[in-house]
Chains A and B, each alone.
Chain A
Amino acid sequence: MREQRRRIGLRAGLLGLVAALAVVAAGCGGDDGEGSGAIEGLGGSIEEIQEMARDEGQVNLVIWSGYADKSWADTFTQQTGCTVNTKNGASSDDMIDLLATGEYDGVSASGNASVRLMERGDVAPVDTELIPNYADVQEGIKNQFYNSRDGEPYGVPHGRGPNLLVFRTDVVPEETNSWNVIWDASGPYNGKLSIYDDSIFIADAAVYLKATQPDLGIEDPYQLTQEQFDASVALLKEQAPNVGEYWPGDVAKQVQSFKSGDSVVGTTWPYQVNLLTADKVPVKAVKPKEGTTGWSDTWMIYSEAANPNCMYLWMNYIISPEAQAKVAEFFGEAPVNTKACELTENSSHCSDYHAEDEAWWNDVYYWTTPTGDCGGTEDDGTCVTQEDWKAAWTEIRG
């Protein structure tokens, strides 16, 4: 009797397994990734989009912290009837992940997310005819490898900025102008370093090595040969014990630790510098002489967006002069629509942030995804891949 029951139990278990496997197999046959052009449910004209957006009533965005503050998102809601719901991404990897859940309509992607998103087919090309403000975007930022594919624009540029060296001026000398304060193994501020927590930070080590060890021959900090990569990783491993905190895109955390003095020097975004300065914390941020990494972000639309009309309106709104002025000042970046320069509260914002000074950006290396094939930049044209970067970061953190 018992034996028989056990056999029945086993059979039921097997059935369950088979069912589970079938389910997984069904899930496997998903799409394989090419952007398919037009998005379902999108209006054919600007008027139609505006009308259909009223029915959608909302737009769900994956954003970098501070990219959709109420101070301009509320205006958008008033104009269009689309409520703005946001989710902060901690890193580009995190953003790709969030978008892949299928719950969001769009994303403010940096270069290291955007190229992968295009490749995966998670984002769709945009029809710029339906985004009137696109015409005002700086030409030099349009149709770059990180916001277009085969000449087709994928989304609209948002703004750009550098990752800065930040330090407390009551601890670190005012004239500090080199990354060596965070890389020096016997540095005076060890234990109080604040470092961005993502594998893309390996590029910051590469930028420093490019300047300090020219014989490594680093050209592009995102396309590293094994030797260059190993040198960067070794530098980071040396740094790890001296790091007081790693901040995973968590702006508030870094602001707090600089305020309390638990961190005195580190890498940051201009946003935190704005917040710290507003809080009267004595900090200064510079682009060090070795150059730095940075970002040029793009608003992209999810290929199966549930609210494509609101998303189109958002993409148009965010590059309007009014919104650009607010975003640029709030976050501390350079606008991509220079008409915004006349509207910023600080009339010299655009020149302070080098919006039109292309030479200044020469040694700012925009985030992008490392690829295995780095065609001819080095001897054999093979480089370390994103996968290796990610694995190395876990080891660096130890």
Chain B
Amino acid sequence: MVESRLTRVLLRLGAAATLAFIYVPLGVIVLYAFNESVTQGWPIESFSTKWFSVAFEDEDVREALWLSVQAALGATVLAVLLGTAASLAVARYTFFGRETISFLVILPIALPGIITGLALQATYQNVGISFGLLTIIVGHATFCIVVVYNNAIARLRRLAGSFEEASADLGADSWQTFRYVTFPALRSALLAGALLAFGLSFDEIVVTTFTSGAQQTLPIWIFASLARPAELPIVNVVALFVILISIIPIWVALRLASTPDEEGGARAVGAAAP
């Protein structure tokens, strides 16, 4: 340990303060899910669990949830395919414009969502593509490629190319090398990237606003409901529910973290940006 005792105490305090900053608002959300009143006042006057049954019987919520899952799955599959291919190309070949690829891949997530959304909407309308699940998936996949790419390329950089060369020397063709050498080494990194992509897509609202037409993903439903005074309590219940089910991917990610690839696990736990 290089850190002095005092430094460590200070660090602990700083970490605790940041954690409190992160968790107090989440606690407030949880409390409001049990708020009996339709409006959010403070302090909460009376508690109730009545909104849970209302939320679970709401058909719109279920439909929106299902659409979100479909969109996130579609975007994840595309992102994994495209992100893996790009990472293999950049990590294993030298070619003109290689540096540009990493720039190109990161652009959709580095440019604000409203720009991606507006650009895609303008394109869909000019080309005459009608809005629906497919247009949502295209939008999401575009900014999800980068998370798979980043995870995969970090792994490929650590995985010496010599293994693949050895495989080739032993007579394996390209596909066999990928299938039996590269892919097993990449697997957990890809899973981590896929989880992250799924999370990003699942909570996305800005690009979706421009690419979903009349379709409602869960965040779009939440946004619409937040503007309807009577539905605020249902939104809080749904939010709590989403936090709770997010334990599943986090658990998967933790399992990943207990394998040698810790970084991938850490990456996978963090997900979802508007």
The 0/1 profile, CB within 8 Å of B marked 1, for residues 97-111 of chain A is 000011110000000
Chain A residue numbers with a CB within 8 Å of B224 are: 87-88
Contact of B131 among A24, A28, A103, A256 (CB under 8 A): A103
Question: Contact at B39–A103, with CB atoms within 8 Å?
Answer: no
Contact of B227 among A6, A28, A65 (CB under 8 A): A65
Complex Cα distance, B39 from A253, in Å, reads 10
What distance in Å separates the Cβ of A270 from its nearest Cβ neighbour in chain B? 14
Q: Is B130 interfacial (CB-CB < 8 Å)?
A: yes
Given A65-B228, A87-B224, A279-B39: A103 touches B214 (CB 8 Å cut-off): yes
Contact of A27 among B96, B126, B130 (CB under 8 A): B126
Name the residue of chain B whose CB is nearest to the CB of A259. B39
Most chain A C-beta atoms within 10 Å of own C-beta, residue among B39, B40, B97, B213: B39
Complex Cα distance, B96 from A6, in Å, reads 8
Chain A residue numbers with a CB within 8 Å of B260 are: none
Chain A residue numbers with a CB within 8 Å of B213 are: 101-103
Given A65-B228, A252-B228, A255-B39: A2 touches B96 (CB 8 Å cut-off): yes
Chain B residue numbers with a CB within 8 Å of A101 are: 125, 131, 213-214
Chain A residue numbers with a CB within 8 Å of B130 are: 102-103
Chain A residue numbers with a CB within 8 Å of B214 are: 60, 85, 87, 101, 103-104
Question: Contact at B96–A253, with CB atoms within 8 Å?
Answer: no
Contact of A260 among B38, B41, B131 (CB under 8 A): B41
What distance in Å separates the Cβ of A186 from its nearest Cβ neighbour in chain B? 32
Chain A residue numbers with a CB within 8 Å of B38 are: 279
The 0/1 profile, CB within 8 Å of A marked 1, for residues 91-130 of chain B is 0000011000000000000000000000000000111101
Number of residues on chain A facing chain B (CB within 8 A):
30
Q: Is B186 interfacial (CB-CB < 8 Å)?
A: no
Q: Is A41 interfacial (CB-CB < 8 Å)?
A: no
Q: Is A23 interfacial (CB-CB < 8 Å)?
A: yes
Complex Cα distance, B232 from A256, in Å, reads 11
The 0/1 profile, CB within 8 Å of B marked 1, for residues 17-49 of chain A is 000000110111000000000000000000000
Q: Is B229 interfacial (CB-CB < 8 Å)?
A: yes
Number of residues on chain B facing chain A (CB within 8 A):
20
Given A101-B125, A259-B41: A252 touches B131 (CB 8 Å cut-off): no
What distance in Å separates the Cβ of A191 from its nearest Cβ neighbour in chain B? 21
Given A87-B214, A102-B130, A104-B214: A252 touches B226 (CB 8 Å cut-off): yes
Q: Is A16 interfacial (CB-CB < 8 Å)?
A: no
Chain A residue numbers with a CB within 8 Å of B227 are: 65, 88, 249-253
Chain B residue numbers with a CB within 8 Å of A250 are: 227
Within 8 A of B (CB), among A67-104: 85, 87-88, 101-104
Chain A residue numbers with a CB within 8 Å of B128 are: 26-27
Within 8 A of A (CB), among B128-151: 128, 130-131
What distance in Å separates the Cβ of A370 from its nearest Cβ neighbour in chain B? 26
Complex Cα distance, B29 from A364, in Å, reads 42
Question: Contact at B126–A9, with CB atoms within 8 Å?
Answer: no
Name the residue of chain B whose CB is nearest to the CB of A83. B59
Complex Cα distance, B38 from A9, in Å, reads 59
Question: Contact at A251–B127, with CB atoms within 8 Å?
Answer: no
Complex Cα distance, B126 from A27, in Å, reads 5
Chain A residue numbers with a CB within 8 Å of B39 are: 255-256, 259, 279
Question: Contact at B96–A5, with CB atoms within 8 Å?
Answer: yes
Complex Cα distance, B42 from A259, in Å, reads 11
Complex Cα distance, B124 from A103, in Å, reads 13
* Residues of chain B having any CB pair with chain A under 8 Å: 38-41, 96-97, 125-128, 130-131, 213-214, 224, 226-229, 232
> What are the nearest 6 A-B pairs in CB distance?
A27-B126, A103-B214, A103-B213, A252-B229, A250-B227, A60-B214
**6 additional contacts (CB under 8 A) given A252-B232, A259-B41:** A9-B96, A24-B126, A87-B214, A101-B214, A249-B227, A253-B227
